[in-house]
Amino acid sequence: MFKNLTIRQISLYLAIAIFTINLVFCIIFFFFIGTLDVQISKGVVFFVFQIILLIAFFLVVRYFLESFVFRKLKVIYKIISESKLPGNDSKPVVNALKTSLDDVNAEVFKWAEKTTKEISYLKTLEEYRKSYVGDISHELKTPIFTIQGYIHTLLDGGIYDESINIQYLTRAAKNIERLQVIVEDLELINKLESGGMILEEITFDIKKLVQEVLLDLKSAADEKSIKLEFKEGANKSYTVKGDQESIRQVLINLMSNSIKYGKEGGTTKISFYDLESKVLVEASDNGIGIEEKHMKHLFDRFYRADTSRSRSQGGSGLGLSIVKHIIEAHHETINVRSTFGVGSTFGFTLKKA
C-alpha cells in the first residue's frame, strides 16, 4: 500500500495523519471540556471546518514537498532522462504529481549502473588506444631506425665501399618494404572497420582456392620441410559465397603463420566440415602452439604471442587482426583452439552458395 507512492499520495497521507491527530484533540476537547449545547449547535460547523482543514493540510504539505524535496529530485530526474536520449531528441519533463519517488529512485540506479559500465568501457578503450599507439610507434620505429642507420653509413662514405654499399641498400630496401606492408595493412583494417571496403561477393570453389594458396606457399613451406596438405576426408569440394580475394588473404595469413611458427618437418592440414547452410574451413598445424594467457589477445593489432620469434620472422603484426576483420565483414565467425607445444587450429565459416 505504501510502496511506489507519488508526491500527491505522500501529501495526502501526511495530511490525513496531521488531520487525524488534530481531530483526536478536538474530540477530546468537545467531549471532556466543552458543553453539550456547544456540541449540538456547532457540530455542523465543526465538521465543515475539519474538511476545510484536511484540504488545507493536503495543499500545504504538497506545496512544501514539491518546493523543497521533489523540485530537487525533478532536476536530477530530468538530467538523467535527457542523458539517455540520442542526439537532440526531447522528452516530456517528469510529472511531479504522477511520478513516484520509487520510480525516480529506480531511474537513478539504472542511470548510475549504465554510467558505471560506460565509464568502464571508455577506460578500456583508452587503455587499448594507449597500447595501440605504443605498439604502432614501436613497429614503425624499428625499420625507420634501421633504414636511418644504413643511409647515414652510406652517406658517411660507405657508398664508395663496394663490400657494403649494395648490401646496405638491399637491407634498407627490405625495411622500406616492411614499412609499406605495415601501412597497407593499417589502411586495410581501417577500411574494414569503417565500412569503406566493399566486398565483392561471388560464388567460388573454396577447395580450388585453397589449392592455389598451397601452391603459392609451397616454396616457403619447403624451406622448413613443412608439408601443406588436405586432411583425410577433405576431398569434397564446396561452393561458397564471399569476396574471393579477401578469403584468399585470410587463407594466406593463416597458413603463413602455421609455416612461421611450425616445427621443422611439421605438417599443416586443411579440412572442410559441412554445417548445413555453411562450411567450416580449418587450418591445423603441429607447431609450437599458443599459451592460454595469449588466447584472448590473439586477434589484437600488433599483438605477438612470441615477440622475439615474431620479429625475426618479419610481417606487420596485423595478420590475424586482418583475418578477424575480413571474416566479420562477411558476417561469419572465426575461432582458434591451441595447446602449447602441440599445435593450433584456426577455423572460420562461410555461407554455402
* CATH classification at residue 159: 1.10.287.130
Q: Are residues 49 and 67 in the same domain?
A: yes
Asked whether the beta carbons of 177 and 162 are under 8 A apart, the reply is: no
The last residue of one of the domains, among 177, 194, 211, is 194
Query: If DSSP states are collapsed to H, E and C, what string results for the chain?
Result: CCCCCEHHHHHHHHHHHHHHHHHHHHHHHHHHCCCHHHHHHCHHHHHHHHHHHHHHHHHHHHHHHHHHHHHHHHHHHHHHHHHCCCCCCCCCCCCCCCCEHHHHHHHHHHHHHHHHHHHHHHHHHHHHHHHHHHHHHHHHHHHHHHHHHHHHHHHCCHHHCCCCHHHHHHHHHHHHHHHHHHHHHHHHHHHHHHCCCCCCEEEEEHHHHHHHHHHHCHHHHHHCCCEEEECCCCCCCCEEEEEHHHHHHHHHHHHHHHHHCCCCCCEEEEEEEEECCEEEEEEEECCCCCCHHHHCCCCCCCCCCCHHHHHHHCCCCCHHHHHHHHHHHCCCCEEEEEECCCEEEEEEEEEEC
Q: Are residues 190 and 211 in the same domain?
A: no
Q: Are residues 167 and 294 in the same domain?
A: no
**Tens of pLDDT, residue by residue, the chain (353 residues):** 555 556 566 667 777 777 777 666 666 666 655 554 555 555 556 666 667 777 777 777 767 766 666 666 666 666 666 655 554 444 444 454 455 556 666 667 777 787 788 888 777 767 766 666 666 777 778 888 889 998 998 888 888 888 888 999 999 998 888 888 878 877 887 777 777 677 888 999 999 999 999 999 888 888 888 888 888 777 788 899 999 999 998 999 899 888 888 888 888 889 999 888 899 999 988 888 888 877 777 777 766 665 544 445 555 677 888 888 889 888 898 988 888 888 888 999 999 98
110 assigned to some structural domain? no
Considering its fold, how many domains does the chain have in total?
Answer: 3
Q: What are phi and psi of 199, to 5 degrees?
A: -80, 130
343 CB-near residues (< 8 Å, 6+ apart): 284, 285, 286, 287, 289
53 assigned to some structural domain? yes
pLDDT, tens digit, 9 for 90 and up, residues 285-312: 888 888 887 777 777 776 666 554 444 5
118 assigned to some structural domain? no
What pairing do the DSSP bridges indicate for beta strands 267-275 and 227-230? parallel
284 assigned to some structural domain? yes
Give the residue numbers spanning the domain of 259: 201-352
The last residue of one of the domains, among 148, 168, 194, is 194
134 assigned to some structural domain? yes
Q: What is the CATH number of the domain that holds 271?
A: 3.30.565.10
Q: Are residues 282 and 167 in the same domain?
A: no
253 assigned to some structural domain? yes
Q: Are residues 156 and 214 in the same domain?
A: no
The last residue of one of the domains, among 99, 117, 146, is 99
Q: Are residues 281 and 336 in the same domain?
A: yes
Q: Are residues 190 and 205 in the same domain?
A: no
Q: Are residues 167 and 247 in the same domain?
A: no
Q: Are residues 211 and 343 in the same domain?
A: yes
Q: Are residues 163 and 306 in the same domain?
A: no
Q: Are residues 152 and 269 in the same domain?
A: no
The predicted pLDDT at position 90 comes to: 44
114 assigned to some structural domain? no
Q: Are residues 209 and 345 in the same domain?
A: yes
107 assigned to some structural domain? no
Q: What is the pTM of this model?
A: 0.57
The predicted pLDDT at position 349 comes to: 92
Q: Which amino acid is at 261?
A: Y
